[in-house]
């Protein structure tokens, strides 16, 4: 009987096709997978935290009370720091870069993550997720990671990116240049991810857009004009906006769609972060045949000069991204 391809098997098969690999890359992804299972389990029980908190009962179940985004951050750190595969971590939850504590050994990769994106949606059981991107270090193996291992590097230099969505089910999407973009669904009854969405592709165009229209008055008028143009009834567009980047992106990856978080006069760099939101999702979008810009230039050609640098983001099906970007730079 065909039991399906587990993520573990997929990683071993694709990792084995690279004879130069040391195994660290596969180990890194396995550790991320383990963290994803732990975070998924905790997210599924998050509603209990409110109940327990409300009755004032903390201690024994006190772990539930810990904010989920901090739990996600700690879980990723704990699963990666001892494995000898990462020399530096960058996280939305950490002001400073995270180094590998002794006695553990720094590895070959830099791991950038938004541990729990869309966390304002936790209380309402809407979909949230973990986003991550991976660089291979530039400094010598075995030494502590340096800021130069992650800053001033183009998004193109990443070697993998992915996300996990914790929704009606838990799904992990992984993108590498060698294997493309593949989605794996967690079967909670056996605690394994199985390949469920092989070779995900974004068609050139689509009929959906995602943007927070409440900010329309703050937009560049050229953006307002473009969004208005999509509303022509004959074009047949619809609009969806969850307010979790990872969930909005995931829906658009599966169904096709354009996501925009623009710059405004008061926030010229928008809201989203380069290293652990825009870079990973742009990497996934491009490998799926889509594209991503900052409203002017390609996201993956950018270089971050600050760990928590922000950028406007226009991402999705390539024709829609090209249209929106052209509208934003028009005279």
Does residue 93 bind ligand AHM (CB under 6 A)?
A: no
CA dihedral 101, 104, 109, 115 (to 10 degrees): -50
Token pair recorded at residue 135 = 């660089």
- d(CA 142, CA 161) in angstroms, rounded, equals 23
Kind of pairing between the strands at 208-210 and 238-239: parallel
- Give the Å distances, CA to CA, from 146 to 5, 88, 109: 37, 7, 11
Residue 243, contacted partner among Mg ion, ligand AHM, none, CB below 5-8 A by kind: ligand AHM
Binding mask 167-206 for Mg ion (x = CB under 5 A): ----------------------------------------
Total site size for ligand AHM, rule CB under 6 A: 11
Q: Which of 170, 244, 252, 294 binds ligand AHM (CB under 6 A)?
A: 244
Rounded least distance, CB 271 to ligand AHM, Å: 6
Stretch near ligand AHM under the rule CB under 6 A, chosen from 15-23, 72-80, 241-249, 315-323: 241-249
Name every residue whose Cβ is closer than 8 Å to that of residue 205 and which is 6 or more positions away in sequence. Answer: 256, 317, 319, 320
Shorter beta-carbon distance to Mg ion: residue 174 or 246: 246
- d(CA 157, CA 64) in angstroms, rounded, equals 38
Does residue 69 bind Mg ion (CB under 5 A)?
A: no
Rounded least distance, CB 113 to Mg ion, Å: 10
- d(CA 144, CA 203) in angstroms, rounded, equals 42
Residue 31, contacted partner among ligand AHM, Mg ion, none, CB below 5-8 A by kind: none
Within 112-131, the residues that bind Mg ion by CB under 5 A are: 114, 117
Residue 4, contacted partner among ligand AHM, Mg ion, none, CB below 5-8 A by kind: none
Kind of pairing between the strands at 258-261 and 170-176: unpaired
Q: Which residues bind ligand AHM (CB under 6 A)?
A: 92, 114, 117-119, 212, 243-245, 261, 271
Q: Which residues bind Mg ion (CB under 5 A)?
A: 114, 117
């Amino acid at each position: 009987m065909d039991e399906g391809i587990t993520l573990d098997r997929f990683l071993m098969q694709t990792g084995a096709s690279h004879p130069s690999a040391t195994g660290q890359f596969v180990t890194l992804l396995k550790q991320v997978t383990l963290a994803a299972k732990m975070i998924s389990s905790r997210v599924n029980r998050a509603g209990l935290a409110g109940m327990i908190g409300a009755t004032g009962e903390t201690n024994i179940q006190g772990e539930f009370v810990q904010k989920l985004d901090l739990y996600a951050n700690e879980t990723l750190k704990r699963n990666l720091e001892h494995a000898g595969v990462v020399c530096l971590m960058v996280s939305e939850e950490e002001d400073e870069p995270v180094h590998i504590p002794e006695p553990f050994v720094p590895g070959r990769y830099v791991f950038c993550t938004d541990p729990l994106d869309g966390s304002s949606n936790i209380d309402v059981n809407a979909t949230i997720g973990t986003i991550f991107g991976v660089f291979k270090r530039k400094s010598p193996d075995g030494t502590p990671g340096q800021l130069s291992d992650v800053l001033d590097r183009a998004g193109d230099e990443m070697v993998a990116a992915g996300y996990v969505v914790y929704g009606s089910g838990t799904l992990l999407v992984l993108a590498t240049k060698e294997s493309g973009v593949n989605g794996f669904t967690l079967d909670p009854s056996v605690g394994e991810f199985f390949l469920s969405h092989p070779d995900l592709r974004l068609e050139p165009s689509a009929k959906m857009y995602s943007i927070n229209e409440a900010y329309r008055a703050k937009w560049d008028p050229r953006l307002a004009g473009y969004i208005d143009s999509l509303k022509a009834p004959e074009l047949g567009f619809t609009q969806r906006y969850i307010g979790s980047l990872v969930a909005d992106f995931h829906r658009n990856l599966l169904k096709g769609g354009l996501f925009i978080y623009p710059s405004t006069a008061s926030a010229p760099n928008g809201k989203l972060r380069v290293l652990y939101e825009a870079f990973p999702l742009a990497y996934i979008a491009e490998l799926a045949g889509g594209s991503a810009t900052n409203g002017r230039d390609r996201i993956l050609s950018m270089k971050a000069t600050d760990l928590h640098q922000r950028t406007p983001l226009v991402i999705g099906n390539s024709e829609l991204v090209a249209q929106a970007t052209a509208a934003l730079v028009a005279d």
